[in-house]
Each structure stands twice: as structure tokens, then as C-alpha cells.
Chain A
Amino acid sequence: MIKIYIDDKPYSVEPNQTIMQAADSLGFRIPRLCYHPKLSIEGACRVCIVEVEGMKNYVASCSFPVHDGIKVRTNTEELRRARRDIVELILDNHPQDCHTCERDSNCELQRLANSMGLRHRHFEGERKHFHKDISSDAVIHDPDKCILCGRCVRVCSEIQNVHNLGYAFRGFKTVVMPAFDLPFSESVCTTCGQCINVCPTASFVEKSYTQELFVKLQDKSLVKIAQIAPSVRAAIGEAFGLPVGTNMEAETTAALRRLGFDYVFDTQFSADLTIMEEASELLERIQGKGKLPMITSCSSAWMKCLEQFYPDLLDNVSTCKSPMSMMSALTKTYFAEKMKLDPKKILNVGVMCCTAKKYEAARPELNVDDMRATDIVVTTRETAWMIKSAGIDLLHIKGEPFDEPLGFSSGAGTIFGATGGVMEAAIRTAYELYTGETMVNIEFSELRGMKGIKEASVIIDGKEIRVAVAHGLGNAWKLLDTIRSDPKRYHFIEIMGCPGGCVGGGGQPYAGINSIPLDEDNLRKRANALYKLDRDKTIRRSNENPDVQRLYREYLGRPLSPLSHKLLHTHYHAKEPRGIISAELKVR
């Protein structure tokens, strides 16, 4: 321990940390902007400056280490003024359109300006102007709102290892963009949306489909069907000020009906279905029909990442569609036939925690009978906004159950939203399908939690099945590198594109005043909400879901049947050349 002084009072702290870390541990919160504890130190914004006795200039507390006897002042009048000027200069080159900005009241820069006490504007200078990139189905980039904190660049490279974003040009003209100023749609962007989660302003946002959806919800000729992803219910409450990890399943269902949906189904039902198909596929592969290890395919960002960077592993990936796409395929076939509806008149809306699902929905491979399977995808954030905008009181609404026959789910379907959940759910069912016996202990603590790569093994009928789980594309890359060198190491691998799995999706509510993006405690709380739902259910194995059983009995036949293959499975293509630059652009 060393002795340091902050604002003239002595404290005893651990050595080998920065001033900011030491101050944080003592109950200070030095203002900050570009700093994020999960990312490397950038020191770009200078908002976190402090005075250190003996130093000529103010130092950035995020990068300056403490030493024995250091005397730090965090709140002198001069320092406050300097900090306020820094924030004011950042604002000077930022559009003054807060009132019409979609992050109004949810913006870190706005909150910072407020806490700095900025009440007048002293500077009025030249403003930068770049083109807004709306080419992607999922992620919109408006560089005019960028303050160059670099969090997006760092999350894209350090957490996701995608390296799509970088700084280009210099000085006043510096701008964040993909290589060669490629449009996002043609860049290696996996549409995971983590840049949106960490962006302090509205420079990165999802492509919004809310207006289009509001119009379609009024269309009486359409049958409007919503499906809710597991993680949405565990997070949407945050957008309404509820504590992190509040389960809002029944309330969200009721709110969606008030919004104008005719049916509200549960993506957890099709998660159970995914497990039936995926576990059956795994057993086939273990018996020699197909490549091992098998890798999950639910995560859309992972899907795009795979096609760009891992063309050699295409055959290892399960052919199962994601639960969302399975559900959409079923509503336009099975459900339409059952209810005597014209599938062309069905509007399928995915209420998702994910931005990449917008990209997935537009993939032509997923069309059903030449119709788009999922017509619109809205994120948790968009859904929360729509509920507020329509004047629906989510906090006091009486909860309602999902519609039948695609609304009942087992606990296994619920935990899909947390990293390791798909694996846990698959093992529960694979064990039974293979041995015919019921598994007694169905909770796998080694597959739960926020560790980047998790491993476990189960004995199924005397045979050891080795499994591994990775969340975040950077962790996926580490794990997949090990199987390139040792292909026999695992039988089954779960990969989720976002840190924490879907609970940490790119479409989840923004961090509030008391939290930061990517915060593990928050991710854990959301995951725990799902694990609690699972524990409270009597049916916790996908194969015991009576509605899934009925679907097979009445319609699909059995897992991996020809009809299952037609409706519930898909295929992937390597994106040449390895997704670095599209062939089309090369000709240009």
C-alpha cells in the first residue's frame, strides 16, 4: 500500500494503478469520456485531467500512475474551468441538434456537459461535415456527431477483433471509418452493434424501422405477428428506469398487443425447436455423419464473421437457422395453414436484443417460398421507444401470456439469451435423445458466467463429449484458433457475437446514469433474470415442450425431416475475398 493525497486528504491505496482507478476506489468519480475500463487507454479527450503537485501541466488521470506521496487535486476552481472548456470545445464541433437527436436525454456527452455546468457557449467555430453512412441494414454511422473518443474503434478491434473501424485522415479532418471509406454494407462490419453500445453520442445508432412499423401496425389487411427474443424481457425495463435484471416478459407481451400486434409469440419456443434440430444434428455428426466440432449458428454477427474470416470452418457450423428465422418460417407456413391465413398478408416482426438480426432478416437464404421470412426487426431500444411513443404504460400494464401455439417454452429456451445457454440447453436434450434417460443435474455452472472462454465435458452413454463456449468475437477468434490447430479437441462449440451473449446485444438499452456500457455486473444481472425464469419452470428441457412435440407430430414429422430441412435449416457462403474488399469494388 502507498500513501497518496487527494484534495489535501491522505489515503492509503494499492500501488500500480492509475490516479483514476485509485480515485474510483475511494469514492471519487473524476469526469471522463473516452475512458472505458474494458478498453485500452486512449487519453484522447482530456476530460479526466487532474492537478498533480510538481507537474507543470494537468495530467490525464486515466493514464497517469499513482506513486507514494503523490498529491492530486481533482476539483480546484481552475481545474473545473479547464475541464469545462475542454468539453465546450468538444461541443463546439458537434451539431447542436439535441432536441431532435435520437439520443436526447440518453447521451453521455449531454450528461457530461450538464455536469460541467456549461450554461453558455463561448466558442463558435468551423464545423466538420462528412457523409452519413446509411448503407448497412443494421448500423448507421453519422460522423458529424462523432467526438473522436475512439471507443468504437477500440471495441471493434480489442473486444470483437473485427478491426473494421479506424481513424482516417488527420487533424480537423480526422474521421472514423472502415478501410478505404467502404460503405458499411460492403465493409467487414459484422453488424454486432457494440459500437452503438459504447458510443457516447448518436454517431453510431441502429437503422430504425419504427416509423415503418407504426404505419404497418395500422394496416388492417395485415396479420401482425411479433416474437420476443429471450434477452429483451431481461433488459427492456432498464429503458423505463427499472433495476437491471427485471423480468418484463408478460408486460412486454401485453404492451406489444396494445401497439397493435395480433399475435405475440415467443422466440423461446423456436429456441426449443432449434435445440431439437441442433441436438439431433450433433448426434448425427458424432455418429460420423458430418464434421466435428459442430459450431452453433444462432448469432447473426457470428454468421457474417464466419463467412468473412473463417471460410475453412463453414462445414463445421450447424445448418440450423437462428430461433428468430425458424419462428418466422413457421408463422408463414405452419401457423398460416393452421389459421387459414394468406402468408403474404403476414407481417413478421422480430423484437430483438440485437442489431445484427436486422442484417440476418435481409439474408436471401432465409426466404420462405420467395417471401422474406422476417419482415422487420426492431431492437429492445426501438421497442421501448415505440411503447413510450404510443403512450403505453409498461410499468403499470397488467401482464399477459404469449399466444398459442408458438408461445410456450421450456427453461432451456429461456437461457438462450445468456452466454453458454444454448450449450446448456443442447446438452439437456442431447443427453435424453441419445440415452433415452432423463438427466438429473441439468445446471452447468461451468458454462455460466462472464469468463471469455468456458469449457466442460459430459459423459453421454459412456462417451465423453467435450464442449466449449465463447462470447464476443474476440474470444471466438481465440477459441477457433485452438480448434484449427487441434480439431479433435471439442465436439460442440457455442459462439455468441456479443460480450455476455444476447443479453449484451447491440440493441439493448443504453447504459444509464449509474452504469457503463459492457458492464459485466449488468450483463450478469440480465443473465440471472433468465436463469431465474428457467429455475421457476417445471419444464426445463426443450424435448419436453408439448407444443414443440405437437409441431413435430402435426407438421414437421421429426427433427431433421425433409420439411424441417426446408424450413428450419440454411446454408452459408464464404465471402470472397475473405471479406476484406468486395469483388465489385475491386473492379471499380
Chain B
Amino acid sequence: MRGKLTIGVFAAFVASVLLGTADLSGQASGGRAPVKATGGPRTPDGHPDFQGVYDLATLTPLERPEALGTSLTMTTEQARKLEQQVASRRDVLNRPSDANRGAPPIGGDGSPGAAGNVGGYNNFWIDNGDAYFSIEGQKRTSIIVDPPNGRMPELLASARARNAARLIQTTSDASEDEHDPGLEKGAGAYDDSERRPLGERCLIGFGSTSGPPALPVLYNNLHQIVQTKDTIVIMNEMVHDARVIRMNAQHLPPTVRKWMGDSVGRWEGDTLVVDTTNFTDKTRFRGSSDQLHIVERFSRLDDKTLLYRFTVEDPSTWARPWTGEYTWPKTDQLLYEYACHEANYALEYILRGARQRDRERSTGRPGNR
């Protein structure tokens, strides 16, 4: 009975969305923002005090899964079911393994994605959230709020061509073994360290964890804000990256490029607005160019939660800007040092592995001794 009522309410909401009677806050420049708390601590110079450590982990993905259509929210009941699924799965996986197990199968264990057919590692290393985040009591199905379907806009055809052209290396020969599901297929993907993802090179954290825009990732979603009158720092655990935001300042000239761009900030009432440009042409957030421009807006939802809203634009990559928002809940947990380059065995082994494959191909001999 309760389930039927919930579905009914949900259906009504979906209907109201389709009829346009529900505002999904889709506009890039603001739209209807959630009601902000006016109380809360302030810094001595009178601005809201956002300082502290935040854990951004959430089950809500950046993009809404296809199955959900256009609904930005789901009911608490629906979210709870999904959250329980995740919790149950983790409980099952917590159980002991067979003490007499053998090695996994030759040819791989079928694990998809970057687990690379070799199963990655144990799940106890992962920390990516227990719940979908809520805004104004409504569970969100995606971080992206605009476009209204909760998905990034398509890349421009010219952007796709540009990105494909970046991968061509004249010194590279055939692409990796088509039959090896663990390998990336692009030609030359393992030719040089510069071809590897920035996270794998320990240049910046993977998955846009620092951004901007900062996004939740598989683990280490802790970020610390330190706030002074002239400078605000967002310290990102991975890769010990401090984004230094110069308040009321001008952007650097276009010749100066930074991995996380150049950020300047200002207050609009009780909202901190951070404007970032001057990205390198290798940062390439979601396939973008060095023309990437991010605007972030931080405001207080309640005493323990910030609302983090961001707009992404790059006219040479997307035909229109897109916007996302999610919550940054405070945590008592501590950030720990994430020195990455200092022990980056993996990058060396990945490249050595590729050179092994090259030797195998050239000698025609399988395996190596």
C-alpha cells in the first residue's frame, strides 16, 4: 500500500516535470536556487564561513542513467531501495572468501571497465558513498541539472574530430591486441608516458576529483576549504592539489596555462563564485579544449552542508553550457597525504608491460621469460 502511494507520488512528480510545472533549476546563470540558510557562522570580514573538510562521495552519478528518462529526482523510498542494494552487495562481498580457492582463471576474470579483466583489487579500498544526495529533501538521480535530461550535451562534430586527431601518433604502429580485453584500443595508447591519463601520471587526480569542476570519484573524496579575505584555498586530497583562488583578481594572461586552470573568486551576497579559465590543452575535462571555462557557486544549504553548483562551457566542444549541482557535506574525517608521483610504480609497470608486448610481437614468441 505504501509502495503504491510512493509510486503514485513519483508518477505525479514526473507528470509535473513533463508539464513544466516543476522547476528543475536548469538555467546556467542561476534559475531557482534552493533556499539558502541565512544563519550560520561568518568569517570576521562578514562572509559565510565555509571552512572545513567535506566528503563529496555520493551514489548519485554525474549523468542520469538512461532508464530514468527526464526525472531529476526520485522518491526517498526509491533511493532507499537502491541504497540498500548497494549496502547488501557490500555485505555479501564482505564475507570471507574460500580459504582453499585457487588462482583466478587464465584469460582473465571478466571484470569490466578499468578493472581490466584482472579484477582490480579488493573493494575495501573503495569509498564512494552510501547514499544518493538530497536537496530540499529530494533525492537526485544525477548531478547534471541542465540539460534537463541530466546528461552532458553531445560533443560538437568538430570537437570529436579534434579529439580523435590528438590520438594519432605518426611513430606508432598497429593498435593493441584486439583480443585482449584489458588493453585500451587506441593506437599508441601505451607508447609514451604522455599518452597516459593525467591521473595515471600523477599530474592531477583522476575523474576530475579536483576539477574544476570537482566531481565525486571512487575514493578519497575529501576536500578542505581554507578561507581568508584575499585568498581561498580548496585543498583536494588527490593529488595533494591546492586550488588557490585569488579573490577579486584578474585572470592571468592567456599564455599562462595551469593543469587546474586559473581561479579567481568573488562574493555575490552569500554565494562564493569562482571563475576558472586558462586550462592547459592537456587537461581536457570530458574531451574539452583549453577554452574550457568553469563557473562554480558555493552556498550554504545548512550548517553542515554546502551546495556546490557548477557550469561548464567550451564553445569549441559543446554547443551549449551545461550545469550540475550536488551537496558537500561536512565531515570530521581528516585528509591524509596523497603523494602520488613519489611511488608511482604502476606507470612504470604499465609502460614496461607495453614494451614486453612489443618484444613479443617482434620476436613472434608468446610470453616472456
- Asked if A and B are interacting partners, one says no
By a beta-carbon cutoff of 8 Å, the part of chain B in contact with chain A is none
